[in-house]
Chains A and B, each alone.
Chain A
Amino acid sequence: MIRVRGVHKYFGDLHVLRGIDLDVEKQDVLCVIGPSGSGKSTLLRCINLLVRPDAGDVFLEDVRVTAPEIKPEWVRQRIGMVFQSFNLFTHLTALKNVTIGLTHVKKMGKQEAILKARRELERVGLGNKLDAYPAELSGGQQQRVAIARALAMDPKVMLFDEPTSALDPEFIREVLDVMAKLANEGMTMIVVTHEMGFAKEVADAIVFMDHGQVLERGTPQEILERPGHERTKSFVGKILR
């Protein structure tokens, strides 16, 4: 579904991604772990072209999305993204946060968009918060609206960029539950996370990144219980303690 080949990214003199290769099959859940500054977020942003790779290629199914003739909007419509800080549109209600992409990008009719948005919000358990503004919602609720907003576009892949890192502990569960449900329904997902419990239960594979490189890739058991690389060992050791 997603193939990443030899992706490099520089921010000024900083070499953030140093030749990343990655494969995610249809309906798979890939968790990306690693210390902060290791390039995890940048990698996700390279996949939906919020950041354009300086070298290398990203493929969505058989389309080389890094090809210059591919419009980034075309790619982003097909790849949903959920951010660490939610990034809900603060001036719009939960419902409108979901419908805006449907009416203005997918050109869906207003009534149809509202019906669809309602369904998506009910799916994440927020059918009773349609008219609430983001500032009236808890972090967990905001993140679930953000997930509904991305899902409403019927993406082929969902990218999650540390979706629970900005949440109070009491709200983490509800977001992870929604994500686990999504994974069970067969959504293809790439999840940058520090939630090892989630990774263990839901992920089909885990990659460990450090200094802009993928150091290790394996099943959750391999990475979390028998890490091969020294850096992985120390990172996993610190985080599981």
Chain B
Amino acid sequence: MGGGGLTLTGIARDAVAFLRGGLRAHWRSVVGLVGLLGFGALITFLLGQVGVLDLPFIARRWDSLWIFAWVGVGLTLTSFFLGFAFATPIGLVRAYASGVFTRRKGRPAAVVSFARARELYGTPKAVRVVGARVLRKALVAPAYAFATGYVEGIRGTPFYVQMWLVFFFAILAYPALPGWVQGGVAGYFNFLRYPRIPEEFYFAGLLALTLNTIGYQGEVLRAGFQSVDQGQIDAAKALGMRGLRIFRRITLPQALRLVILPLTNEWISLLKASSILSAIAVTELMFQSKQLGVNEGHPFEAFLMVAGMYLLINVTVGKTAAYLERKTRIPGLGIPGTASGTRRVRGRVPSRGREAAKN
């Protein structure tokens, strides 16, 4: 499973190889997993023996957790990807806008005056061309101010506080939303087969998580965009490529590769933040742990079970992200194999720079 790009066929091939490989090929990860599970099981068993934990209770009630785990995971997934969509423009503005409106000393750049544009293109097109330019200039500074204010606001306040603000706003605003929006929201949560509670609670939870993650992902993406060397953009321009295409083909793929790790961290943080939504009656894992712990009188068991469930989900996500990192590694760049931890690349040793050149 070397690097060299992410393709569906490549992923399928790796999956088949993984399943075929059996225990022998994966003994390192198996040992790690068995170690983790075994250690947890041993402690749990011992605590059961001394009477602290009610093991039959855990066995009996474990299956009740799945639907609540799914609520947390579903909300997190949805807000993560929604958040990514909105964070991209925020990251872009934060990365590039300051260069546009920072007043440079010296001569202003040569631009087509409106009169000249009218001679060249005729009035309607001149209005469009010059208008678009003026508008762009006029919008950049406010956009930067908004993005920066937003990011600082989200990062500078606790999620718990944000959630309550969003909650009251959402509860008040929800009835005023147009019918098709309400229908869409209700339909989405129905589609996810969530437990039936008034959908504005889910809506409030989703909104709170999304607004929060936009701020964090925006900063992650900003760092990603800024780490792409200016020379890459110069080279693309020199070939005759234009802004949007350069972004799509050069900047974005290079930046995304770099932000897999910080985005994984953000996903994990977000899933854990979703536990706080139990305070606004969203029926996720934390909510169920109160049911099991308080109403059924098994607090130790309940919180241990929930902790175990979170761990299970996040370890799975972490492993997937490590795989993605390995897949998108560029041969020769950086240190091979850091993302995999223990796995070695078999066969061909990746060649690096100068050594490769000599043959």
A239 at the interface (CB under 8 A from B): no
Chain A residues closer than 8 Å to B109, beta-carbon distance: 52, 54
Chain A residues closer than 8 Å to B237, beta-carbon distance: 50, 72, 76
- Known: A87-B232, A133-B331, A136-B332; 18 extra A-B contacts, CB below 8 A, are A10-B107, A13-B105, A14-B106, A52-B109, A68-B116, A73-B241, A77-B240, A87-B231, A89-B250, A90-B232, A100-B239, A132-B332, A135-B352, A136-B353, A136-B356, A137-B357, A138-B356, A149-B235
Cβ of A83 and Cβ of B231 under 8 Å apart? yes
Cβ of A105 and Cβ of B105 under 8 Å apart? no
B238 at the interface (CB under 8 A from A): yes
Interface residues of B in 34-79 (CB under 8 A from A): none
Picked from A80, A89, A101, A149, the residue with its CB within 8 Å of the CB of B232 is: A89
Interface residues of B in 319-346 (CB under 8 A from A): 330-333
Chain A residues closer than 8 Å to B106, beta-carbon distance: 10-14, 54
B120 at the interface (CB under 8 A from A): yes
Picked from B241, B331, B358, the residue with its CB within 8 Å of the CB of A136 is: B331
Docked Cα-Cα span, A44 to B95, in Å, equals 27
Cβ of B110 and Cβ of A91 under 8 Å apart? no
Cβ of A87 and Cβ of B235 under 8 Å apart? yes
Docked Cα-Cα span, A85 to B234, in Å, equals 11
Q: In the complex, how many residue pairs between chain A and chain B have their CB atoms under 8 Å apart?
A: 119
Chain A residues closer than 8 Å to B253, beta-carbon distance: 91
Interface string of A11-32 (1 = CB under 8 A from B): 1111000000000000000000
Docked Cα-Cα span, A20 to B111, in Å, equals 21
B155 at the interface (CB under 8 A from A): no
User: B197 to nearest A CB, angstroms?
Assistant: 45
Docked Cα-Cα span, A194 to B353, in Å, equals 25
Identity of the chain B residue whose Cβ is nearest the Cβ of A88 in the assembled complex: B235
User: A126 to nearest B CB, angstroms?
Assistant: 11
Docked Cα-Cα span, A122 to B95, in Å, equals 39
Cβ of A73 and Cβ of B242 under 8 Å apart? yes
A124 at the interface (CB under 8 A from B): no
Picked from A54, A100, A140, the residue with its CB within 8 Å of the CB of B249 is: A100
The 3 A-B pairs with the shortest beta carbon distances in the complex, nearest first, are A138-B357, A135-B332, A77-B240
Cβ of A104 and Cβ of B250 under 8 Å apart? no
B128 at the interface (CB under 8 A from A): no
Do A68 and B110 contact each other (CB < 8 Å), given the known contacts A12-B105, A141-B357?
A: yes
* Residue ranges of B at the interface with A (Cβ–Cβ < 8 Å): 4, 104-107, 109-112, 116, 120, 229, 231-232, 234-242, 245, 249-250, 253-254, 257, 330-333, 350-354, 356-358
Docked Cα-Cα span, A100 to B235, in Å, equals 11
A62 at the interface (CB under 8 A from B): no
Do A101 and B110 contact each other (CB < 8 Å), given the known contacts A89-B232, A136-B332?
A: no
Docked Cα-Cα span, A224 to B245, in Å, equals 44
Interface residues of A in 123-144 (CB under 8 A from B): 132-138, 140-141
Docked Cα-Cα span, A100 to B245, in Å, equals 11
Cβ of B104 and Cβ of A73 under 8 Å apart? no
Identity of the chain A residue whose Cβ is nearest the Cβ of B4 in the assembled complex: A133
Cβ of B239 and Cβ of A52 under 8 Å apart? no
Cβ of B120 and Cβ of A149 under 8 Å apart? no
Docked Cα-Cα span, A52 to B330, in Å, equals 34
Cβ of A81 and Cβ of B238 under 8 Å apart? yes
Docked Cα-Cα span, A48 to B105, in Å, equals 23
Chain B residues closer than 8 Å to A136, beta-carbon distance: 331-332, 350-353, 356
Cβ of A104 and Cβ of B249 under 8 Å apart? yes
User: B138 to nearest A CB, angstroms?
Assistant: 20
Docked Cα-Cα span, A80 to B331, in Å, equals 27
Cβ of B110 and Cβ of A54 under 8 Å apart? yes
Docked Cα-Cα span, A89 to B236, in Å, equals 8
Chain B residues closer than 8 Å to A89, beta-carbon distance: 232, 235-236, 250, 254
Picked from B110, B240, B357, the residue with its CB within 8 Å of the CB of A73 is: B240
Interface residues of A in 76-106 (CB under 8 A from B): 76-77, 79-81, 83, 85, 87-91, 100-101, 104-105
Identity of the chain B residue whose Cβ is nearest the Cβ of A84 in the assembled complex: B231
Chain A residues closer than 8 Å to B353, beta-carbon distance: 135-138
Identity of the chain B residue whose Cβ is nearest the Cβ of A71 in the assembled complex: B242
Picked from B112, B236, B239, the residue with its CB within 8 Å of the CB of A153 is: B239
Docked Cα-Cα span, A132 to B253, in Å, equals 18
Chain B residues closer than 8 Å to A140, beta-carbon distance: 357
Cβ of A105 and Cβ of B239 under 8 Å apart? yes
User: A85 to nearest B CB, angstroms?
Assistant: 6
User: B230 to nearest A CB, angstroms?
Assistant: 9
Picked from B107, B351, B358, the residue with its CB within 8 Å of the CB of A54 is: B107
Docked Cα-Cα span, A137 to B106, in Å, equals 41
9 A-B pairs with CB atoms under 8 Å apart are A14-B106, A69-B112, A83-B238, A87-B231, A88-B235, A89-B232, A91-B253, A91-B254, A133-B333
Docked Cα-Cα span, A207 to B331, in Å, equals 41
Chain A residues closer than 8 Å to B358, beta-carbon distance: 138
User: B354 to nearest A CB, angstroms?
Assistant: 6
Cβ of A85 and Cβ of B104 under 8 Å apart? no
Identity of the chain B residue whose Cβ is nearest the Cβ of A10 in the assembled complex: B106
Do A91 and B257 contact each other (CB < 8 Å), given the known contacts A135-B333, A136-B332, A136-B356?
A: yes
Chain B residues closer than 8 Å to A53, beta-carbon distance: 110
Cβ of B241 and Cβ of A50 under 8 Å apart? no
Picked from A13, A85, A133, A149, the residue with its CB within 8 Å of the CB of B239 is: A149
